[in-house]
A and B are shown apart, each in its own frame.
Chain A
Amino acid sequence: MRNSFLIAKRELGSFFSSAIFYVITVVFLLLYSFIYFQILNFFSFQSLQAAQVRGMDLGLNLNDMVIQPAFHNMAVILLLMIPIVTMRSFAEEKKGKTFTLLLSSPIHLKEIVFGKFLACWGVLTVMILLSSYSIAFLFMIGRPEIGPALTGYLGILLMSGCFVAVGILASSLTDNQIVAAALSFGFMLFMWVVGWGAQAAGPNIGPILEYLSLIDHLERFLKGIVDSSDVFYYLSFMFFALFLTHRVLDSNRWR
């Protein structure tokens, strides 16, 4: 564990001392904020309309109409941004030949993989939590429920953990960062939409595809439900991707 933290610490240092972290964070926050304020604007427009139609309960509420769609959009932006965060993790080490330092050190491969994962996930957690200003703002102007907002963040963090694990797996497959980014983006998007195949796949395979889809598990978190099966899905997804990363790196030595 100490070694994983060492790797993570170095990785974080390199994130924060280079432009990558700042550029990605600023782009993420700008995109998110723009979309967020469009959602908020739409909500206030609808509220105005509702106020004119007396006696009609349109079921307007901040949780359903602002926080939930905001999280959905955040997930899409993350889908686009995470490959950029993770693509360097192993590809750069291999290209820059610095991987030999780690491989010839008394550290286990799994500690290296876990350290890389921690660093990328840590960076994303910082990035994602910075967006919480928007939710805090809602508490100043209205009375949304805090529960679904918190579980929403939990869901988003777990989902981005899966993205990170996939990104690191892709990065371990190649020494080219662009290839790593393309692979991880492709795979993430596939895991996102795989549930759409459920109908065509029929009653046997359909539910499996639905279960596999990354985004379906997010839905319940956004509604404020923490279902242990969803948490288990995300954790096992991460574990499996990191396990594959370990296998890939280990098999590289044998070839």
Chain B
Amino acid sequence: MIEVENLSKFYGPRLAVNNLNFTVSQGEVVGFLGPNGAGKTTTMNILCCILPASRGTARICGFDIFEQSMEIRKTIGYLPENPPVYLDMTVDDYLQFAAAVRGVAGKKIAAAADRALEKCGLKDVRRRLIGKLSKGYQQRVGLAQALIHDPKILILDEPTTGLDPLQIMEIRKLIQDLASSHTIILSSHILPEVSQICQRVVIINEGEIAAIDSLEGLTASLRKTERLRLRVRSANDDVLQSLKALEGTLSVQQEDDSAFIVESPLGSPFQDKVARLALDREWGIVELSSASMTLEDIFLKLTTEEKELAE
């Protein structure tokens, strides 16, 4: 559905996106993950034919982004980071305008607007000025705009930034509903969001792809060791030394005043050993838990790895 080949983009002398290659197949929900300024928005803008690529190309539904940009624009719904809403229009007027410029035929505009209102839960505010709506509702109007021409592909740039937790949940729910009938590319720097919604993750860092995989795949490939967190009441050097001396320990780090992270090879029943040791020495266990890698760790690891090597 989407094939990106050697895509690069220069802003003046600055290389914003470097040699991206990935594909997205029909019906997939792919998360773009990366720190701010990694090139997520640039890549999305290129896919939506807003910016031209400096090198390389991409094909969407078989259309080339250079040669057939008008066809592509008809098949993509784009929600930029800031919803492109005219604050001085009512929701109804705005959606009808969006439908018309997106190429919906005159007679179908009203029906298209109604459907988008319905999907995004905007029926109650349809006659209100967009400028008077809350940020969450404005975001929904932005999403409705992206849906208005019933596109096959949705590209959503950080759809939940700036919303309160309840609104974030609502928007996520909406995106999950949409996932059944659309191919979605979604960018975010909020990791739980991606892990909830997306089947596959493209991690971008400094304009380059750091990893492409499913979430399980990423976790598995990066988790080479088991990690345990031990929190005790009376923490001292003795605890640290004893843990280090324990058979099979790879490393021990003191996390804070009372907690230690013990790393051991994969698959070893290490909890028992640590627990027994703690009980024997009467350290007073407060917490003994698995501290395996979260998406945050993976992300940090992937986006900082190269720097560490460089140093």
Interface on A for B, CB 8 Å cutoff?
Answer: 3, 6-7, 10, 13-14, 17-18, 96-107, 253-255
Contact A13/B93 with A6-B101, A106-B103, A107-B101 known, Cβ cut-off 8 Å:
yes
Q: Provide the residues of chain B in CB contact with A105, threshold 8 Å.
A: 73, 101-103
Binds A, one of B23-31, B77-85, B168-176, B207-215: B77-85
Smallest CB separation, B174 vs chain A (Å): 19
**Beta-carbon contact of B89 and A13 below 8 Å:** yes
Given A6-B100, A253-B51, A255-B11, check contact A104 B88 (CB 8 Å): no
Main secondary structure of the interface of B (DSSP, over half): loop
Please determine whether B101 and A3 come into contact, CB atoms closer than 8 angstroms: yes
Q: Is the CB of A98 within 8 A of B84?
A: yes
Mind listing 28 A-B residue pairs with CB under 8 Å?
A: A3-B101, A6-B100, A6-B101, A7-B101, A10-B86, A10-B89, A14-B88, A96-B84, A96-B86, A97-B80, A97-B81, A97-B84, A98-B86, A100-B80, A101-B101, A102-B101, A104-B48, A104-B50, A104-B73, A104-B76, A104-B78, A106-B74, A106-B102, A253-B50, A253-B51, A253-B52, A254-B52, A255-B12
Nearest A-chain residue to B155, judged by Cβ: A104
Which residues of the other chain, A, contact B76 by a CB distance below 8 angstroms?
104
Q: Which residue of A lies closest to B77 (CB)?
A: A104
The closest CB in chain A to the CB of B48 belongs to A104
> CB distance A100 to B88 under 8 Å?
no
Q: A14-B89, A100-B50 are in contact. List 12 more A-B contacts (CB 8 A).
A: A3-B101, A6-B101, A10-B86, A13-B89, A98-B85, A101-B84, A104-B48, A104-B73, A105-B73, A105-B101, A106-B70, A253-B50
Contact A100 B97 (CB under 8 A): no
Bits for B140-182, please: 1 = Cβ < 8 Å to A, else 0.
0000010000000000000000000000000000000000000
Q: Which of B80, B88, B97 contacts A6 (CB 8 A)?
A: B97
B83 (CB) vs chain A CBs: closest residue: A97
Residues of A contacting B300 with CB < 8 Å? none
Q: Does B49 contact A (CB under 8 A)?
A: yes
Interface residues on B, range: 20 to 34
> Per-residue CB proximity of B112-152 to A under 8 Å, as 1/0?
00000000000000000000000000000000010000000
Q: For the complex, what is the distance from the CA of A105 to the CA of B98, rounded to whole Å?
A: 9
Q: Is the interface of A mostly helix, strand, loop or mixed?
A: helix
Smallest CB separation, A117 vs chain B (Å): 17
Interface status of B87 (Cβ within 8 A of chain A): yes
**Distance of A101 Cα from B145 Cα, bound (Å):** 9
A49 to B50, CA, bound (A): 68
The smallest beta-carbon distance between A115 and chain B, in angstroms, is 10
Assembled-state Cα–Cα distance A14/B89 (Å): 7
Considering the chains assembled together, what is the distance between the CA atoms of A103 and B84 in angstroms?
11
> Are B11 and A100 in contact, CB atoms less than 8 angstroms apart?
no
> Which residues in A have their C-beta under 8 angstroms from that of B93?
13
Closest chain B residue to A101 by CB distance? Answer: B84
Least CB distance from A89 to B in Å reads 13
Q: C-beta contact mask, B24-50 vs A, less than 8 Å → 1, else 0?
A: 000000000000000000000000111
On chain B, the residues within 8 Å of A7 by CB distance are 101
- Residues on B with C-beta less than 8 A from A102 are 101
Q: Complex Cα distance A48/B98, Å?
A: 62
User: Is there an interface contact between B85 and A100, defined as CB atoms closer than 8 Å?
Assistant: no
Residue of A nearest to B78 (CB): A104
- Bound Cα distance A7, B102 (Å): 12
